[in-house]
Amino acid sequence: MLSASETAADLFYNRLFEIDASTEALFKGDMKEQDRKLMQMITAAVNGLNELDGLIPVV
The C-alpha angle 26, 34, 48, rounded to 5 degrees, equals 115
State residue 53's pLDDT score: 87
Q: For 3-29, how does the pLDDT look when each residue is reduced to its tens digit (9 = 90+)? A: 999 999 999 999 999 999 999 999 999
Band of pLDDT at residue 39, cut at 50, 70 and 90? very high
> Quick check: 2 and 10 in contact, CB under 8 A?
yes
Q: Is the pLDDT of residue 35 over 80?
A: yes
What's the pTM? Answer: 0.78
Q: What does DSSP assign to residue 48? A: T
Instruction: Return the SS3 of 8.
Output: helix
Greater confidence (44 vs 21) lies with 21
State residue 1's pLDDT score: 82
